[in-house]
Amino acid sequence: MKINVDGLDIAYKFSGEGQDTAVILEGWGTSMPVYDSVAAIMSRYMRVLQFDLPGFGESDEPKEPWNVDAFTDFFLKLMAALGIKEATLLGHSYGGRMMIKLSARQQSDFVIKNMILVDSAGVMPKKSFMQKLKIRKYKILKTFAANRLLYALFPELIDEWRSRQGSADYRNASPMMRSCLVLSVNEDLTGLFEKVKEEVLLIWGEKDTATPLSDAKLMEARMPDAALAVVKDAGHYPFLDDPACFAGILSSYLDGKKR
């Protein structure tokens, strides 16, 4: 199904039944099917909404570059359009960024009942000397690549170099979504952790290299009411790497909420 919000067609679907609602906020560049197994667990307890963020999956791209706040604002408009005033939120990676932003806001008509952060983004990694050197080298080469005369002389060489730059998410994104990604990854949210008001369950892959386990431990330490569960040997997608362990953690948590 699709719904039009602010001129953008947004793909979404519901599963499960119940008076309570859960909403899954997806990671960067993913789409609804990636989270079907997560929705299947949660739908045993409540109605579950999955949707593709603008520019993800089958939803329209934003008409201009958006930062995390803009995506969060749009999320609230979508909830209003669907008549959802409160929900349990589960956010993976980029979806976690949005949840942290939303929770830290002083006022909102939308009520977060519970927060589940799965390998959430939000902590700016400290760069090593070699990483800083690599960035400096990239900026110098980027300046040369932008030179029209050099490009006229070596177009294939420069295009090949450009195709190898940035993360996989960046390389696979459209120009518009690349601009959105740059606005997001360069924002550190650690200063907001103390402002997260809700109870938070952190579920993390032990061997995540995108958002390492140290990020989860920092969130657990700084968020007022947070608890961490680690999925052993799993990476950035623990619900895919070890579905049984992930299901056990999430089900135990949701069972506790029923009592």
Q: How confident is the model at residue 135 (pLDDT cuts 50, 70, 90)?
A: very low
pLDDT for residue 161: 42
Q: Measured in Å, how far apart are the chain's first and last C-alpha atoms?
A: 34
Domains of the chain: 2-124+187-258 (3.40.50.1820), 129-178 (no CATH)
pLDDT in tens, 202-245: 999 999 999 999 999 999 999 999 999 999 999 999 999 999 99
pLDDT at 197 exceeding the cut of 70: yes
- Could you tell me which residues come within 8 angstroms of residue 221 by beta carbon, excluding any fewer than 6 positions away? none
* Range with the poorest average pLDDT among 39-53, 99-113, 125-139, 196-210: 125-139
What are the structure tokens assigned to 164, written together?
A: 């190898």
What are the structure tokens assigned to 157, written together?
A: 């060489």
pLDDT in tens, 2-43: 999 999 999 999 999 999 999 999 999 999 999 999 999 999
What average pLDDT does range 131-155 have in this prediction?
52
Say what the pTM is.
Answer: 0.84
pLDDT for residue 181: 85
> Which stretch, 25-39, 122-136, 245-259, has highest mean pLDDT?
25-39
**How many residues are there in the chain?**
259
pLDDT in tens, 147-173: 565 555 555 654 454 445 545 555 566
CB burial readout 106-130, b (16+ within 10 A) else e: eeeebebebbbbbbbbbbeeeeeee
What are the structure tokens assigned to 44, written together?
A: 């045993």
β-bridge partners, 203: 118, 229
pLDDT in tens, 66-93: 999 999 999 999 999 999 999 999 999 9
What are the structure tokens assigned to 167, written together?
A: 């993360």
pLDDT at 134 exceeding the cut of 70: no
pLDDT for residue 236: 97
